[in-house]
Structure 1
Amino acid sequence: MIGVFSKTTDSNLIEALGYSGMDFVILDQEHGPITNETLHNHVRAAKVSGIKSIVRVKGVDANAIGSALDAGADGVQIPNISTAEEAKSAVNAAKFYPAGSRGVCRFVKAAEFGSKAKEEYFKNANEKMLILQVEGKEGINNLDKILEVQGFDVLFIGPYDLSQSIGIPGQVEHPKMDELMNEVSEKAKCKGKRLGTFADSITTARKLYHKGFEYLSYSVDLNIFLEAAQSLKNEISE
């Protein structure tokens, strides 16, 4: 699966991403300006154009996780997971009984405002994607225990925060980073967990994709637009 991070407040751009053929879009509430009202419109735009909507919330916050899923998102991505206890809390917040204790309201968009059969809603809700984002040295040190936690679908490595945590901020191509990414990849494969990460160059994206990082987010929508506009101007003015 290949997608992008989104920090836009314009739902038309989300819809356009779907028509582009991208597999998913990560609606970023951690580092982006997306309010809950905007989120509802983004999720609707994603459904119209056939792209999966994943919401990156600000952290292990049960209310934020439940709210994103109530909005009808196809999944949630939880940043800054450092321990197995945090991973368990994220699973608990994202799943209904018996897998967790997510807050229950069936009169939400995800349940078609109460028109969807209760049995169908609760069953399908527990199949939404849950991505846990490990992005620091502590999380890497606790990776074996985090991977033992049941109930999440993808282990996502945040390369920029990880590079900072090991003393080389922004140097995501550094040999130390390659070594860590290889270590994470091997451990996740042994546990049967899907891998995800972020890349902002085509070369890096291809390398990571072929290394087994199959949930791959490439850059950010606004930066993609900016670079396309720059390239267009340069080509015209040559």
Structure 2
Amino acid sequence: MSFRLDLPPTLADRLAGLTPGGHLAGMWVTSGSPVAAEIAASSGLDWVLLDAEHSPIGLETTTPLLQAMNGCPATPVVRVPVLDRVLIKQFLDLGAQNLLVPMVDTRADAEEAARSVRYPPHGVRGVGAALARASRWTMVPDYLASADELVSLTVQIESATAVDNAEAIASVEGIDAVFVGPSDLAASMGLLGQQTHPEVTAAVLRTFEAVRSAGKPVGVNAFDPVQARAYLEAGASFVLVGADVGLLAHGARAWAKEWASGD
């Protein structure tokens, strides 16, 4: 008897299913801990970002993180370290259904990202699904034919140049959503570390308008609760509001303040 396995809905599916005014809230996992990933994914949050750009998480780390999150309610998204078709192929083959590609500045960058996640004739993704967790070693029926629907691609706008090109980036076929990174955006504007500076927030809001005019959902990173709520009110469809290492660091410092002797 053959065994059939169906993959869960993608981030794009979940965003498409939002009611008007609805949103998805998530958090980062950067520790590389499968325990932290499982806790985050079963917490009631809608999505969890596994960050392979600014953390120790790599190809071999991502597999156990995804396995730990398997069956949990939250949708896992993997941020690859760079726009590179070889790395993107590898992350897809190990079973990452939802990718976030950083530092997409131009339409050409967006087109390269879209090609990298799709098989020929629409893309350049190498064909190795029978050997890979992506197809669960051929237990996902017709994986090659259905891969475009089983993978979602979000690109990240995080520079002043990308803000100017936001509508062109969002309009590329194969881009499912756009995510704004205020930290690097602030740095590119000469406002390093000032993510809530009025000029930065204005640039974020311009990006929202441009992406939505292209008919795509837009999300944003916002650790500041006031800023996060303001962005949601401005039309963000998905947000990140914290990180596993941040929770641990803040909690440990609070305990130290209350309990440590200070000697």
Same-fold call, TM cutoff 0.5? yes
Structure 2 residue matching 1:114: 3-state secondary structure? coil
Q: Secondary structure at the match of 2:56?
A: coil
SS at 1:30's partner residue? coil
2:157 alignment partner, one of 112, 134, 139:
134
Output the CA distance in 2 between the equivalents of 1:144 and 1:50. 32
Matched residue, 1:189: 212
- Residue 20 of structure 1 aligns to a residue whose secondary structure is coil
Q: CA RMSD in A?
A: 1.8
Question: Contact 1:18 / 1:50 at 8 angstroms: preserved in 2?
Answer: yes
**Counterpart among 227, 232, 244 of residue 204 in structure 1:** 227
Equivalent position SS for 2:120:
coil
Q: Given that residues 89 and 125 in structure 2 are in contact (C-alpha distance below 8 angstroms), is that contact kept between their aligned partners in structure 1?
A: yes
Matches of 1:120 and 1:80, distance apart in 2: 29
Residue 42 in structure 1 maps to residue 65 in structure 2: yes
Moved more, 52-61 or 81-90: 52-61
1 CA distance for matches of 2:189 and 2:229?
A: 24
The number of residues matched between the two structures is: 236
Give 1:121 deviation, angstroms: 4.8
Q: In the alignment, does 2:167 pair up with 1:144?
A: yes
User: Partner of 1:58 in structure 2?
Assistant: 81
- How big is the shift at 1:124? 4.0
The one-letter amino acid paired with 1:59 is: V
Runs (5+) with no aligned partner, structure 1: none
Letter in 2 for 1:112: R
Alignment match, 2:184: 161
Distance 2:145 2:82 in 1: 24
TM-score for both structures, normalised by structure 2? 0.84
Q: Decide which of 140, 144, 150 is 1:116's aligned counterpart.
A: 140
What is residue 175 of structure 1 aligned with on the other side?
A: 198
Quick check: 1:105 aligned with 2:128? yes
Indicate if the aligned counterparts of 2:135 and 2:143 stay in contact, CA closer than 8 A. Answer: no
Matched residue of 2:127: which SS?
A: coil
Displacement after TM superposition at 1:23 (Å): 1.4
Residue of structure 2 in register with 1:96 after alignment:
119
What's the offset of the Cα at 1:138? 1.4
Q: Are the equivalent residues in 1 in contact too, given 2:80–2:102 (CA < 8 A)? A: yes
User: Deviation at 1:127?
Assistant: 3.4
Deviation at 1:3, TM superposition (A): 1.0
Shift of 1:125: 4.6
Unaligned runs of 5+ in 2: 1-23
Taking the aligned partners of 1:94 and 1:150, their CA distance within structure 2 comes to: 12
Between stretches 174-183 and 158-167, larger displacement belongs to: 174-183
Going from structure 1 to structure 2, the CA distance change for 1:121 and 1:45 (only over 3 Å counts) comes to farther
Shift of 1:67: 1.3
Query: 3-state DSSP class of the match of 1:48?
Result: coil
| 1:68, distance to aligned residue in structure 2 (A) | 1.2
Deviation at residue 147 of structure 1 after TM alignment: 2.4
